[in-house]
A and B are shown apart, each in its own frame.
Chain A
């Protein structure tokens, strides 16, 4: 192997790569927030007394979970302008990530809600609380606690999936790396560095998830 490592392009490109890491984290956090909203909203609507609403949520989950994310993000980016909705790549990527993550979050959070005993709901109702209060004040937190590990690993996956947004040239790490690579032809060095950056970002997010867990979900259970 006569390949000589040359990290000069990486070192020269470091400021833009680090800035792009922030872009990636922005997409990830934006996507997670949207996914949580869609996830919780979807779980509520999935138990709606109105049958077409339940059906719509199920269809949404099926559609998103059984089609590739790359196609979804292209669809949102190229198809929506035909419907008169033109968005920049970065908001498009956040929406696509949120929709995709949201579909998975619906199924995960639903599992958590189903794990809560009926007695909890009945105790809340018997105390005069409305159904929506029972969900929000009694069911939601223990349900999220129950599925917290699944939800956070789904969110790590969402963070790594932000790299797909390079396909529509959203501002994030992979697309900036591609530019540096095509200028320098130092593929190994550039993607080696980028791999390391993703790893560090995942670790960072996992430790934040851990902090949130110990802060909000650490009440004792038997």
Chain B
């Protein structure tokens, strides 16, 4: 039994529900009335201009950002002020960051075993076996004893994906996972994400990789100024966007690529 197999196929049960979520940074309103339901196994791509609130939105799901209004439920757990619910949600939700955020003082293997051992109280032997299997899955097992600084950006990001998967999450959040990479390394990370999607993982990806969105997304969500402007299946989203802002954004981003 591997962590990936925990993910169930797409069903109608919403795994993540966001209801009327508002967030302010002081006077600045970062999110306005966010409503979103993500079914198990669903793949969502979030896009939009910078500052539109995409990262803020997914960071609310695992409570790296606090929000002032509305409710978020993950696997039936309502994120509340009770720290217990935050920990419970974080154990179910894996996150991959733009800047990898691997722990520099730990080897690749130790990066992967730290949280399972400390948070899930997994034995060292079991945590290492899980880590090795997942490092193998992201095709980087041969680097297990190296330190992050000895790896390329693409390799580091694949380790970061494996590290998140070691917790056996039911959902994976990706916050611009390829934006900090050199162009030649983008593909190896996207390939890993596509493989993960094909295995049925529930995923929310903030990315401007529109090829990836076309290939794996069930829904593409376009955000601007902290609001969800438009959401549609990729074939509709790309060929027939309904909002002006979406058209403008797609014009700019597809032109650039």
Interface residues of A (CB under 8 A from B): 117, 119-120, 122-130, 133, 137-138, 141-142, 145, 219-222
Chain A contacts of B253 at CB under 8 A?
A: none
Interface centre among B93, B103, B147 (most CB of A within 10 A): B103
Q: Is the CB of B90 within 8 A of A127?
A: yes
Name A129's contact: one of B93, B115, B164 (CB within 8 Å). B115
Check B202 for interface membership: any CB of A closer than 8 A: no
- Say yes or no: A128 contacts B147, CB within 8 Å: no
Which B residues form the contact surface with A (CB < 8 A)?
A: 62, 64, 87, 90-91, 93-95, 97, 99, 101-105, 114-115, 118-120, 147, 149-150, 160, 163-164, 167
* Secondary structure type dominating chain B contacts: mixed
CB contact between B150 and one of A122, A123, A141, A220 (< 8 Å): that residue: A220
Q: Is the CB of A120 within 8 A of B105?
A: no
Sampled A-B contacts (26; CB under 8 Å): A117-B99, A122-B97, A122-B101, A123-B95, A123-B97, A123-B101, A123-B103, A123-B160, A125-B64, A126-B93, A126-B94, A126-B95, A126-B164, A127-B90, A127-B119, A127-B163, A128-B119, A133-B119, A137-B114, A138-B114, A141-B105, A145-B105, A219-B104, A220-B147, A220-B149, A222-B149
Shortest Cβ-Cβ A-B pairs, 5 listed: A127-B115, A123-B101, A128-B119, A126-B95, A119-B101
The answer to whether B99 and A119 have CB atoms under 8 Å apart is yes
Of A126, A220, A221, the most chain B CB neighbours within 10 A belong to: A126
Q: Are B64 and A122 in contact (CB under 8 A)?
A: yes
How far, in Å, is B56 (CB) from chain A's closest CB?
A: 13
Q: Which residue of A lies closest to B146 (CB)?
A: A220
Q: List chain A residues, Cβ under 8 A from B101.
A: 117, 119-120, 122-123
The interface residues of chain B lying within 8 Å CB-to-CB of A130 are 87
Least Cβ–Cβ distance between A112 and chain B, in angstroms? 13
Question: Which residues of B lie under 8 Å from residue A137 when comparing CB positions?
Answer: 114, 118
Selected contact of A127 from candidates B99, B105, B114, B147, CB within 8 Å = B114
- A220 contacts across to B, CB distance below 8 A: 147, 149-150
Contacts of B118 in A (CB 8 A): 129, 133, 137
Given contacts A128-B87, A220-B147, contact A119 B97 (CB under 8 A): yes
CB atoms of B103 and A138 under 8 A apart = yes
Q: Known contacts A119-B99, A126-B64, A145-B105; can you find 18 more A-B pairs with CB under 8 A? A: A120-B103, A122-B97, A123-B97, A124-B115, A125-B62, A125-B64, A126-B90, A126-B93, A126-B164, A127-B163, A128-B90, A128-B120, A128-B167, A129-B115, A130-B87, A142-B105, A219-B147, A219-B149
